[in-house]
Amino acid sequence: AQKITQTQPGMFVQEKEAVTLDCTYDTSDQSYGLFWYKQPSSGEMIFLIYQGSYDEQNATEGRYSLNFQKARKSANLVISASQLGDSAMYFCAMREGNNAGNMLTFGGGTRLMVKP
């Protein structure tokens, strides 16, 4: 079974509107972390936001927020006031428990395209 599922291969959003990118995860660990990374066309991986499984509040970083619904095992990324520079691939990732290498498992990604 996929540990991280991103069901939206591609999405369009109008500039200045908000958009939600979906991510569901599968783990039996009680302690885990969820991450979102952005990959623009230049190729680098840029960390955006982190949510710990024990964090009671949803994480926020500027225009990025993470809608964490633990019971549903979802960790959706919300981008408010989209900008043209937000056009990129977005990856959801999970670190499970206390695995020795603190390894991340990535989803397949969502390509976001912001329309002017």
Partner 1 sequence: NAGVTQTPKFRVLKTGQSMTLLCAQDMNHEYMYWYRQDPGMGLRLIHYSVGEGTTAKGEVPDGYNVSRLKKQNFLLGLESAAPSQTSVYFCASRPLQRLAKNIQYFGAGTRLSVL
What does the binding site for partner 1 look like in residue numbers (CB under 8 A)?
A: 4, 9, 33, 35, 37, 42-47, 50, 52, 91, 93, 95, 100-109
Pick between residue 52 and residue 81 the one whose CB is nearest to partner 1.
Answer: 52
The token duo for 104 is 């991340």
C-alpha distances (whole Å) from 6 to each of 52, 56, 58, 86, 108 are 19, 23, 19, 18, 6
Pick between residue 63 and residue 111 the one whose CB is nearest to partner 1.
Answer: 111
Q: How far is the CB of 41 from partner 1 (least distance, A)?
A: 12
Pick between residue 50 and residue 64 the one whose CB is nearest to partner 1.
Answer: 50
Q: Distance between CA atoms of 105 and 102, rounded to whole angstroms?
A: 10
Amino acid at 18: A
Q: How far is the CB of 67 from partner 1 (least distance, A)?
A: 18
